[in-house]
């Protein structure tokens, strides 16, 4: 196979050779009976890495978020979340379908839910209003920004003053922790539950973690069964997750450095505007002054040169760095893009 440079997302990462070996050799059992030693090891390790009492292995980040909502709420509750959050925009409306809750989206100029924005979104105690019981935050944010610790602390305090449960969609929790230069538990202490993905920049083939108190995770485990997410000999998958947590969290800074390098390189291309206000993780966002015809042709033209990118979304292009792309690959991407834009 020719070398393909895939910068569409960090979800495209291949499991590492060490993961494939660990998967082949993992001792397994029926996890619904609690009998899979590899899953049990992963869940204990994940709880420790997340700074929570307990953790649950789930098939996807979406299921982890939805289990959190289902476990924190009752039907008819209102749940506050960001307007551009994954839970609001990218989970097929699951919170309404599966948990019967109303999502109350908050508009924010930088997607961060500040305490005053939360105050404005919590519904009054009134016969006409559903009770607001839960807040869902995101860190790192899908826009590539990272929420600082002091803001997390203040928003958590505001949520608690209203008696809310706080769930964090931390699909890229370890990217956020690396960007803030703190261990992940420094972030998760301002949450009641957290979901993070093993399958993105951490390179596991499948799986996410939902972590929280022992009592919360026990109820989430039952809800996972309800949703059909009780898996059997899934230690085969958990084995890769253990390596994701033990080894792959340690190299995320490299992806961030590569993204920073790419931002600088792309900024030298005429008519290309890199968005770098506060982007701190493995993502590069930019816009182009070029005619729509030129911009829309880019994915197909780059593919002819062995480079996979996503098309424009909301007027922007996004490139994502990962374990599977080197600095040299990114230099090739920048050179090809520059040449194509010059051609017009
Ligand atoms: C990818 C992602 C998810 C969901 O993960 P899946 O495993 O794709 O379901 C949730 N939240 C954010 C911010 C994500 O980037």
What residue's CA is closest to ligand 1, atom 3?
A: 61
pLDDT in tens, 322-341: 999 999 999 999 999 999 99
Q: What is the pLDDT of residue 277?
A: 82
Q: What is the pLDDT of residue 307?
A: 98
The answer to whether residues 85 and 138 touch, using CB atoms and an 8 Å cutoff, is yes
SS3 category, 133: strand
Separation CA 316–CA 209 (nearest Å): 30
pLDDT in tens, 65-107: 999 999 999 999 999 999 999 999 999 999 999 999 999 999 9
* Burial letters 212-236, b for 16+ CB under 10 A, else e: beeebbeebbebbeeeebebebbbb
Q: Ligand 1 pocket: which residues have CB below 6 Å?
A: 60-62, 65, 86, 138, 142, 169, 171, 197, 199, 208
Residue tagged 């500040």 (tokens) = 114
Probe residue for ligand 1, chosen from 112, 193, 197, 198 as the CB with the greatest number of ligand atoms within 8 Å = 197
Ligand 1 centre distance from Cα of residue 61 (Å)? 5
pLDDT in tens, 192-227: 999 999 999 999 999 999 999 999 999 999 999 999
What residue's CA is closest to ligand 1, atom 15?
A: 171
% of residues, the chain, pLDDT over 70:
100
Beta bridge partners, 231, equal none
Q: How many helices (H) and strands (E) does the chain have?
A: 14, 12
Tell me the pLDDT band of 134, cut-offs 50, 70 and 90: very high
Ligand 1 centre distance from Cα of residue 268 (Å)? 32
Tell me the pLDDT band of 1, cut-offs 50, 70 and 90: low
- Ligand 1 atom nearest to CA at 65: 10
Q: Mean per-residue pLDDT for 246-251? A: 97
pLDDT in tens, 4-19: 999 999 999 999 999 9
- Ligand 1 atom nearest to CA at 140: 13
Ligand 1 centre distance from Cα of residue 101 (Å)? 20
pLDDT in tens, 10-61: 999 999 999 999 999 999 999 999 999 999 999 999 999 999 999 999 999 9
Q: What is the pLDDT of residue 313?
A: 92
């Amino acid at each position: 196979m020719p070398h393909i440079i895939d910068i569409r997302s960090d979800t495209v990462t291949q499991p590492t050779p060490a993961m494939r070996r660990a998967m082949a050799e993992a001792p397994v059992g029926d996890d619904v009976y609690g009998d899979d030693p590899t899953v049990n090891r992963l869940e204990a390790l994940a709880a420790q890495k997340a700074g929570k009492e307990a953790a649950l292995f789930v098939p996807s980040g979406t299921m982890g978020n939805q289990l959190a909502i289902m476990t924190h709420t009752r039907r008819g509750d209102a749940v506050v979340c960001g307007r551009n959050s994954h839970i609001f925009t990218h989970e097929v409306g699951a919170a309404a379908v599966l948990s019967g809750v109303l999502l109350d989206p908050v508009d924010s100029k930088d997607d961060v839910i500040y305490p005053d924005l939360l105050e404005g979104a919590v519904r009054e105690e009134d016969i006409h209003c559903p009770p607001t019981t839960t807040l869902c935050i995101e860190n790192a944010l899908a826009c590539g920004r990272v929420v600082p610790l002091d803001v997390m602390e203040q928003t958590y305090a505001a949520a608690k003053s209203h008696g809310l449960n706080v769930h964090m969609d931390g699909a890229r929790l370890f990217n956020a922790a690396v960007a803030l230069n703190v261990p992940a538990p420094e972030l998760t202490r301002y949450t009641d539950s957290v979901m993070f993905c093993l399958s993105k920049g951490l390179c596991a083939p499948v799986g996410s973690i939902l972590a929280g108190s022992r009592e919360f995770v026990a109820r989430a485990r039952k809800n996972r069964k309800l949703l059909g997410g009780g898996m059997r000999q899934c230690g085969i998958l958990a084995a890769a997750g253990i390596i994701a947590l033990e080894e792959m969290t340690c190299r995320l800074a490299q992806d961030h450095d590569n993204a920073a390098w790419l931002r600088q390189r792309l900024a030298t291309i005429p008519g290309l505007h890199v968005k770098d206000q506060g982007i701190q993780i493995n993502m590069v966002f930019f816009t182009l002054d070029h005619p729509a015809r030129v911009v829309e042709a880019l994915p197909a033209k780059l593919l002819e040169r062995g480079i996979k990118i996503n098309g424009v979304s909301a007027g922007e292009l996004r490139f994502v760095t990962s374990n599977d792309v080197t600095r040299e690959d990114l230099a090739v991407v920048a050179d090809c893009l520059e040449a194509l834009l010059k051609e017009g």
